[in-house]
Structure formats: C-alpha cells, structure tokens
Amino acid sequence: MEQAGISIPRIERPAESPGQRVFYLDFIRAIAILFIMTYHFNIFLVNWHAMPLFWPAFLNHLGTSDLFGDIGVSLFIILSGSSLMLSTRKELNARNFYRKRLLSIYPLFWLSYLAVFFARFFILKTVPQAGLATLPLTLTGFDGFMNYKINSFYLIGEWFLGFILIFYLLFPLIRFLFLKNRNIMIGFCILLTLVLPKFYKLHMLIGHFPLSRLLEFVMGMWLIDLLMPIKKIRNVLLPAMAAGLLFFINADVAGLFKTAVSGTLVFACLAWISLLIPISLQKYFNFLGKYSFGAFLIHHQFFVIALTEIYIAGFLNLHKLPIYVVFTLLLICIYVISFVLTNAVKLILNGLAAIWEFFIRPGEGKRSLDNTGSASRI
C-alpha cells in the first residue's frame, strides 16, 4: 500500500486457520522471553557479585533492573489476551477451548518437570521436599503460584503458570463481558487497577494476584483488533508509542497501572517494529516464539543447574570467559532442550491418539493430537 508515493508497511489480518502462526505475536513472544531470561540471568550475576548483563546507564537512570522483568511479564499477559481473543474471534466452544488449553499446557509442563527433577537429582544431588498432600498443586501447575504460602514440590513454571491458568479458566466470562461492551470493560479494569492497591491485604504479592493484572489481559484482547490492520495511525504509531513509554516509565503513577500502560505501549511498538523484519529473518523469530513456552518452563532451573556448575568450575569470571558468551550459549541450550521436549510431547500425543483410534474408535480414521504448537502462546 502506498500514500503520497511512500511505501507503508501493514499488519495483515491473519487467516482464521487454527494452526497458522501470526508473525508479530511470535516476534513479541521472542522479545518477551528474552527480557525474562535476561532478568533472571542478571539475578544470578548480582548474587555472585558479577557484572549485570544488559543494563546500560540510561536504564539505570530510568529505573531499576526490574524493568526488563516487569515489561517481559506484562508482554506475556497481553500476549495471552491477544492469542486467546484471536483464536476465538468467530466463536467460542467452551469444551474445545478447555481441551486445547489442557493439551497445550500440561503434557509439556509434566515432561519438563520430570526432566528438571532428574537433572537436579543427578547433577545437584537434590530434589524438592514436601508433603504428599501438596502433590495436586504440582500436578496442576499451581505450586509456584502458591509457593509464597505453601511448601510444595515446586520446580518450574514459577508463579506465572498458575496465574495464567486462572485467566484461561475465566476467559469465556471475560470474553463475554468484553464483547458486550469493551469500553465499559476497559474502564472497569482501569478503575480496578488504580483502586485495588489501596485495599489489598493478602500476603501474595499484588502483582501476582490475577485481578491486579486484568487490565493487561483485556488490553491484549483489544490490541488484537486495533493492530489488524494499522490504518491511518501507522505513520505516527511508533513515535507516539515511544513518547508515551518514556512518559510512563518516569511518571509518578500507581505501579500496576504504570506497568500495564508501559507494557501495552511496548507491545504496540514491537508490533510495528515486526513489520520491518525481513522475511528471511522471520523464520528465526517464529522458531523462538513457537518454543518460548518450553523455554519459559525450564530456563530458571537450567540457570540454577548450569550456572552453579560453571561457577564451581571457576568459569564465571569475566576475565576468563565473557559473560555475553555464557549467556548466548545458555540461551542456545535452553532452546535446544525446549525443542526436544516440545517435539517429544508431540510424538507422545500423536502416539496416544493412534492407540485411541486403533483400539477404542476403530474405523473412524486417524486423528492427530498435535496441539503443542499452541503451547508457546501462553
């Protein structure tokens, strides 16, 4: 498309095919998981009195090192709202919706947990200790979410997995209210975000409490329509988003509201930037986005295991091995493991589907249970 002789990029409305990936969402997933992993990697470096990885002076001036972690989490919440709204744009069948969510999350979660459990057992000679009564929390992925209060067999998923599962559970209701009147819904979420901190009394961190992040989830649902396609605002979107982002980073407003607005602005900026990515490079971001859920699940424990061994071996010394090299190698290893685990789940599910069709429902044709691709949309 051209206006006044100037070529203007455009975000096309994606096809409704359930298996088709949307590039700009994968691009944002890739950036978000990089933010999260950078933040956690830096925590280890700070604990070992090494130099933080990606904190230029201007970031130190604008805020603390939590900035990347906060924005990364916010992007994942917004992405969840966008992805769910996109996949249910035409209709929502509750049975199929919950079935797909269960298949996209739990098989990979369980396999990743077993991989981490045995890795810690054989390498670090340690396993989590807890009462059997807490086992359901681990099996359902809520152990990290409740870790602030209940000692369990928690290893992976952190607080975020249980947190986002609650949003998945409530999505049909949230979607109904949003489609009923999106303006009222967004207004209610803004008010809730501003008022809730004044009355919040739970011991759980308020940022881990789902209602406190409802605004980000709903903004993701709204952005999926706003950004497809970008119409006349496309020419001013990036500078406007950048200016708004700088304002809210420095603005003296409620923390959760500031994070929600900043995350939304970053999301919009990244969606615009994705238009500039050459087609030849898009497959790499698609790969990072597709396997981001597996990377998210294992990255924290992988850092614990790998960096502990590197530190003990004396390699975590900036004079011996550049920390950028360490980080890059760890990222490659994490994605290799995520690739293996995700495709192992795919093989297992398809094998179970074949067994089901052969023994339980013979004569009805082979049906694939390949839902692992949607797992990265968490």
CA 370 to CA 178: how far, in whole Å? 30
* Predicted pLDDT of residue 362: 59
Burial 179-208 (b: 16+ CB within 10 A, else e): eeeeeebbeebbeebeebeeeeeeebeebb
CA 206 to CA 201: how far, in whole Å? 9
* Predicted pLDDT of residue 338: 97
| 114 lies in some domain | yes
Per-residue pLDDT tens digits of the chain, which is 378 residues long: 433 433 333 444 444 344 457 888 999 999 999 999 988 888 877 776 555 555 554 444 444 457 778 889 999 999 999 999 999 988 899 999 999 999 999 999 999 999 999 999 999 889 899 999 999 999 999 999 999 999 999 999 999 999 999 999 999 999 999 999 999 999 999 999 999 998 999 999 999 999 999 999 999 999 887 776 554 445 556 556 665 665 665 655 567 888 888 888 889 888 888 888 899 999 999 999 999 999 999 999 999 888 887 766 665 555 566 777 788 889 999 999 999 999 999 999 999 888 888 777 655 555 555 544 444 444
Strands annotated E in 52-196: none
| 8 lies in some domain | no
Cβ-contact 39, 66 below 8 angstroms: yes
Residues of the domain holding 302: 32-377
* Predicted pLDDT of residue 57: 46
**DSSP letters spanning 182-214:** HHHHHHHHHHHHHHHHHH---SS-GGGSGGGGH
Helix (H) / strand (E) element for 2: namely: strand 2-3
- Token pair for residue 16? 């409704």
| 357 lies in some domain | yes
Number of domains in the chain: 1
Residue 16 phi, psi dihedral angles, 5° rounding: -85, 0
CA nearest to 346, candidates 370, 315, 311: 370
The CA-based dihedral angle spanning residues 206, 208, 212, 214, taken in that order and rounded to the nearest 10 degrees: 180
Cβ-contact 225, 189 below 8 angstroms: no
| 25 lies in some domain | no
CA 212 to CA 227: how far, in whole Å? 25
